[in-house]
Amino acid sequence: MRLLNRLTIMLVGMLACSVSVGQKIPSKPFSYPVYAPLVINPAIAGSKDFKNINLMLRVNGSPGAQMLTYNSRLPGKASGAAIIPGEIPFSNFGVGGYIVHDPMVSSRNLGMGLSGSYHIPLNRTNLSFLSIGLSARGTYNIDKEDGETPPEGFKPFTPNADFGLYYYGPTAFAGLSSTNLLGMINDSVTAYGDETYVPREYHFYGGYKFLLSRKQAIVLEPSILVSATDSTLSELYKDIIPYLKLYMGNFFVGTCFRDWDNLSLFMQYQFPRFFTGVFIEFPRTGFLTADNIIIEVSLGLNLGGDKNMFIKNRHW
């Protein structure tokens, strides 16, 4: 019955995703949906019972990109949930944020987002939650051409906001969110073309965990990311990205299908106090060269007190 309830929740979420994830801002690194999904949905902030800082940067492939994220569940007793002996108590509140440098062809974006979330326990075992998140974000566009006068009326700074809902439990997770809620608040920002266009975006992100071996901590996790803006809702099928992860203890490896022309592989290993990962995208056909391979790395620190946080927070 519990499995049926989880599947029902996930199916309802998928059916509701007719407005669901934009990929315009930030456009890179490609790996942040894997390593820092709170950028897509602010309700994910605090969904793990520990603090972490994660740096993602593109080390091969042009143009480059860097992103620094923070994710934390605030300490305290969560209302509606019991304190379990031996567990560190956490409150209902989560916080997160990111700073991103996103170079493009003729300009670059500097962005920052600050998120807050409230997590509602769905049972007294502290395993299933429904969270609500809100973030404030801002993007500053800088022209790469030194000395060039921007178009009249151009305002490089664009403030905006995001909102999200997120369910997560022992076996499933699903979230709906909208980023850039204010949409195009300044028409003159389009003076530099698509690079500075800021559409309202809609997101769905969900998946299910299949336990293959409890003793060896092996779990298979298929998931999907669905994307849309106001102008692409009629072609939603073009923005569905499937992901597949295989967890083996403190390590996971996976792949995603972003487009027909490229293949993507990623992995991550969790040490007691830090974690590291790599994301690689390369052409599906033809010869591999240094110019057509994208490599991004993820380097992070766990700031909590539990050395087994990575496994503990999967709730298997």
Which CATH number do you get for residue 55? 2.40.160.40
Q: What mean pLDDT value characterizes the chain?
A: 80
Containing domain of residue 178, as a range? Answer: 2-312
Write the CA distances from 108 to 29, 157, 241, 252, 269, integer angstroms. 13, 12, 26, 32, 31
Contact 160, 169 (CB under 8 A): no
If one counts every other C-beta atom within 10 angstroms of the C-beta of residue 268, the result is 22
pLDDT at 225 over 90: yes
CA pair distance 244, 173, nearest whole angstrom? 14
Domain total in the chain: 1
pLDDT digit string (tens) for 112-121?
999 999 999 9
Residue 305 gets the label, from left (phi > 0), alpha (psi -120 to 50) or beta, of alpha
List the single range of 88-102, 133-147, 168-182, 188-202 with lowest mean pLDDT: 188-202
pLDDT digit string (tens) for 284-311?
888 888 888 999 999 999 986 544 444 4
pLDDT digit string (tens) for 8-26?
333 333 333 322 233 355 7
pTM of the entire predicted model? 0.81
Query: Which tokens sit at 86?
Result: 């031996």
pLDDT at 194 over 80: no
- Looking at residue 127, its pLDDT comes to 85
CA pair distance 68, 49, nearest whole angstrom? 19
Q: Taking the alpha carbons of 238, 240, 246, 250 in that order, is the dihedral positive or negative?
A: positive
Query: Which tokens sit at 84?
Result: 């379990």
The mean pLDDT of 160-175, rounded to a whole number, is 96
pLDDT digit string (tens) for 253-281?
999 998 888 999 999 999 988 999 999 99
